[in-house]
Chain A
Amino acid sequence: MRIFEKLPHIDFMKWKGVALAISWGIIVVCLLIARPFTSHSRVKVGMQFTGGIEMTVRFRIPMAADQVRTALQQGGIAGAALVRYQSPPGTEDYSIKVKAKAGQDAKDSTQQINKILDVLKGLDPQGKTDSRQDLNTESALALSGKWYDANLLGLQGDEQSRRAVYDSWAGKITEARGVKGAITGYNDLPSDLPAPLREMVKKEFRLGNVTLRKFESFSPSISGEWTQKTLLAVFWASMAILLYVMFRFTMSFAVGGIVSLIHDVLMALGLFVLFGYEFSVPVVASFLILMGYSMSDTIVVFDRMRENSHKPEYRRVTVTKLVNDSINQTLSRTILTSLSVLFVAFCLLVFGGPALRDLSFPIFVGVITGTYSSIYIAAPVVVYWDQWFGGKDKLKQHA
């Protein structure tokens, strides 16, 4: 199977001005809407870069978002952002984010966490009347300690071996809790749990409403470092790529490559913000991958230009024709290679779950713009460079 039965002859460079105007126009519009660095900025930045707390909690008894929000406000937690997550039926997951105040230290954040947790536990209707320990928040050690003290199984032997038995049962319970995210009924207890232990759990533990599934806290001092580190990584990655392309090709190619790289990153950034995704360190990582991919896609076209420039039939033609022919000759493979990665990125985006969605979006966008920019950003720059600096001969000498 082939995309083109015959070699296509599309005059790509005829539209270079229009293409450049449109795609940079889109970027400008995106940036205008996103308005980074202003007070109305739509850019969402993760706690890793701002400092603060982020937690995901699961309620066993369904809980309306408003109810949680009001409780948090009444509990004196200002500026908490609440988002509902997808969760299995019968449970409800929320993400709660609280930004750190300037100058807040570790102690403050610990207090804040405990305050939030107290508020959430207060949302448990049973908790107010039932003073038993909560099976969904107690540790395995607390459980096994109770069993050990009462020696429910009437075990013989030294302390260590008796403890080990109770510890392993307690571990099984916390494991069962881990699988479902919360113990929602006493039926969730491991089926082979000895009866005396099961009875004690039923008698002395209640099933709390809230479990903490994920929790992150970043002090403001380290978040500044993250921002710096991230920007440096992006900067050095571009420099390394620029230098490599300069070394392997010529100046005009290197400039074209970098301009298309910047284009792809800006485009993905703009769309990323417009679609309401949030920046985190893994997302920045995926932007770096996007850069690597965008460049390697451009290289396929560049390589053909270099190869063609050696051929006798291209000795007397214009750079525009050289570029156009090279693009046409590589068009089917450019499309195919992009499609294969696009498939994967698409699968990650759709099936990868919430954690991979943020990360695969820039790559998904990047693969599309990377393919487009190889043709309509990188190549035109080479043509313009030649028109302005007369670099055709140079291009050939180097190649």
Chain B
Amino acid sequence: MSKRSLFRLVWTLLICAGSAYFFLPFSKVKLGLDLQGGVHFELEVQGQEALEADLRDTRDRIQERLQEKAITSVTVKSDPTSVRVDGVTAESQPAVTKILNNFGGYTVTEQGNARILTQKDFYQKSLKDDANKRAQQIIENRINQFGVAEPEITPSGTEGNRIIVELPGVGEAERERIKGLLSTPGRLEVRFLSKKQPNQIPVKTEAEALAMLGGQLPEGTELFPELMEKPSVVTNQMKAAIRAAKPGEKKLDDVRQWVLLENKVYYDGGAITDARRGQDQMGTNTVNFTLNHDGTDANSKLTGIAASEGRQFAFLLDRKIISVLHSDEKITGGAVEIKGNFTQAQADDLSLKLKSGSLRASMKFLEEQSMEASLGADSIKHGITAAVIGFGTIILFMVLWYKWSGLNAIVALSVNLIVMLGLLGSFQATITLPGIAGFALTLGMAVDANILIFERIREELDAGKSVPGAIQAGFDKVFWTIVDAHVTQLFAALLLFIFGTGPVKGFAVSLTVGVVASLFTSIYVSRFIYDWVLERHPGTKTLSV
């Protein structure tokens, strides 16, 4: 064997070995959700909510500062786009200005006695970015704690506000629960019930509740509905409604009471260090959590006031009341128990949310796909059958048609197959059903390159060239044809890669890889085999093609 042939052989074998390293054992190959079953979500972070939440925070902080400075004439309100500070007088004006100037992300505009605070563009952007980043992190936390093997959580979208969650092996039964875990922020707040409450008769509308309070909310309070599945106070009217409901029917969803809560949040989910499901003596499910140092302080202050003044406080999750409690004594430890008529799964999920931290904004489901494993197994079976039959037919055809040269093509094709698998493995590409189709198709196209070369060699031989001359001319003249043909296919494959997601991306990857592998094997490997055979049979007059 000449040095050149040896060199090429070593190269080819090295590339094959390198490729094998990437895809062997086969368990390394990742299957897409369409093949192994699982759930795919595309979520969008509702950035607007993060902005609104910040407006509410700002409102509360301004209120706190005003109280510290004992400015009582000034009122603060927030709406979905701005914070409004009313009743600024000449004497309070310098102090108020000083307070408002602390909020760097806001533009303050004067309107007579009022000051309007609106978020600056850069501040809105940073709030949204922050919400996106946090969402990614917290979704990862929640999924990991839920215990899904090999989840894939990737950001997407031009504004970075989308998250694609792929959970292999998750079935229909878990889908709804995971959806619930992902969609809601999980923000816990603890607030006092206002001393003045609308009458404890179930009131269905907010307007009715407001009317009972004299048409106007007291300063620094907000009305919240409390779902009355297990009401904290049961009135006769409610009892009637409960009796009227048939078993299993959730008529009580309609029965609401409106509760007036103070704006001040004593502590929130941020203060929680750990949470888990528990049970009380009655065997009902509870959620127990542990607070950090600040949270413990706030909790002891809260329970102290509650015990001495006989007041109630509420736990809110995502601005919905989950539990209203009162306290008989000041609690100094950091352990808190919430009872809220939870099912076991609900208690598990709530503690999981509390542990993982809260999202800045809720999530919207743009896309949702789930696939059962059996359907995926069917697809694999069909896909592989089709690919194997296709590949087998081609091999048979090549040998019958081109004889020994056909064998050359098959060696080249096999190397092609190995290189393709290796490239796919090195990109850690996921094999999808269209990916298998793409795989089979590129093998068909790889054969094309060999056909072009062989046909050309035949033509050159017919024109009276010697065997080495015909091979030389065959490869040289077809080179650019093959390159041009491959490049146009590469364009299509690359565009697919750019615009596609999931299965389509798998398709694009296998096509791209196939095109590259086919260029290498048809031009380099096939040529090398011919040269090698010629070396062993110098002066041969015939070529089996």
Contacts and interface: CB of A to CB of B under 8 A. Distances in A.
A106 B373 CA distance: 25
A314 to B, nearest CB: 16
Contact of A174 (B171, B386, B456, B489): B171
A128 interface: no
B452 A300 contact: yes
Interface residues of B, number: 82
A248 B484 CA distance: 8
A375 interface: no
B499 interface: yes
B394 A343 contact: yes
Contact of A351 (B42, B389, B492): B389
A340 B397 contact: yes
B437 A340 contact: no
B514 to A, nearest CB: 11
A13 interface: no
Interface in B353-385: 364-375, 377-379, 381-383, 385
A364 to B, nearest CB: 11
A215 B172 contact: yes
A348 interface: yes
B401 interface: yes
A307 B372 contact: no
B455 interface: yes
Contact of B499 (A230, A240, A307): A230
Interface stretch (B75-83, B334-342, B442-450): B442-450
Contacts, number: 248
A137 interface: yes
A72 interface: no
A352 B437 contact: yes
Interface in A218-240: 218-219, 221-222, 229-230, 232-233, 236-237, 240
Interface string A1-34: 1100000000000000000000000000000000
A181 interface: yes
Contact of B393 (A179, A214, A285, A343): A343
Contact of B372 (A181, A233, A281): A181
A352 B388 CA distance: 11
A311 interface: no
Contact of A296 (B391, B484, B498): B484
B477 A139 contact: no
B500 A281 contact: yes
A145 B285 CA distance: 14
Contact of A229 (B344, B368, B493, B499): B499
A137 B491 contact: no
B30 to A, nearest CB: 18
A291 B492 contact: yes
Interface string B86-108: 00000000000000000000000
A303 interface: yes
B14 interface: no
A19 B481 CA distance: 26
Interface string A96-109: 00000000011001
Given A303-B481, A351-B389, A353-B378, A139 B366 contact: no
A363 B434 CA distance: 12
A64 interface: no
Residue from the set A109, A289, A363 with the largest chain B CB neighbour count within 10 Å: A289
Interface string B36-66: 0100001000000000000000000000000
Contact of B488 (A221, A244, A329, A344): A244
A360 B433 CA distance: 12
Contact of A215 (B34, B370, B495): B370
Contact of B387 (A105, A106, A230, A347): A347
Contacts of A333: 451-452, 455-456
Contacts of B490: 292
Given A211-B172, A215-B370, A217-B365, A282 B434 contact: yes
Interface core residue of B397, B456, B489 (most chain A CB under 10 Å):
B489
Interface residues of A, number: 82
A106 B365 contact: yes
Contact of A289 (B174, B369, B492): B492
Q: Which of A138, A241, A337 has the most CB of B within 10 A?
A: A337
A86 to B, nearest CB: 10
A122 to B, nearest CB: 14
Contacts of A363: 441
A299 B488 contact: yes
Contacts of A296: 445, 448, 484-486, 488-489
B174 A139 contact: yes
A1 B365 contact: no
A236 B495 contact: yes
Contacts of A195: none
B486 to A, nearest CB: 7
A112 interface: no
A241 B488 CA distance: 6
A114 to B, nearest CB: 8
Interface string B445-476: 10110011001101100000000000000000
A193 interface: no
A289 B445 CA distance: 11
Interface string B504-518: 100110010000000
Nearest to A340: B447
Given A336-B455, A343-B444, A240 B495 contact: yes
Nearest to A217: B368
Nearest to B39: A215
Contacts of A340: 394, 397, 444, 447-448, 451
B459 A329 contact: yes
A1 B444 contact: no
Given A233-B496, A292-B493, A282 B452 contact: no
A336 B492 CA distance: 23
B20 to A, nearest CB: 24
A373 B359 CA distance: 56
Interface-central residue, B383, B491, B508, by most chain A CB under 10 Å = B491
B448 A341 contact: yes
Interface in B101-140: none
Contacts of B440: 344, 347-348
Contacts of B385: 351-352
Contacts of B242: none
A222 B34 CA distance: 20
A247 to B, nearest CB: 10
Q: Which 9 A-B pairs have the closest CB atoms?
A: A353-B382, A139-B173, A292-B492, A296-B485, A178-B373, A344-B444, A292-B489, A347-B390, A344-B390
Interface of A: 1-2, 56, 105-106, 109-110, 137-142, 145, 174-175, 178-181, 211-219, 221-222, 229-230, 232-233, 236-237, 240-241, 244-245, 248, 281-282, 284-286, 288-289, 291-293, 295-297, 299-300, 303, 307, 329, 332-333, 336-337, 339-341, 343-348, 350-353, 355-356, 359-360, 363
17 contacts: A142-B173, A179-B374, A212-B172, A212-B372, A214-B372, A217-B368, A241-B492, A284-B504, A285-B500, A285-B508, A292-B489, A292-B490, A292-B491, A300-B481, A303-B480, A344-B390, A360-B437
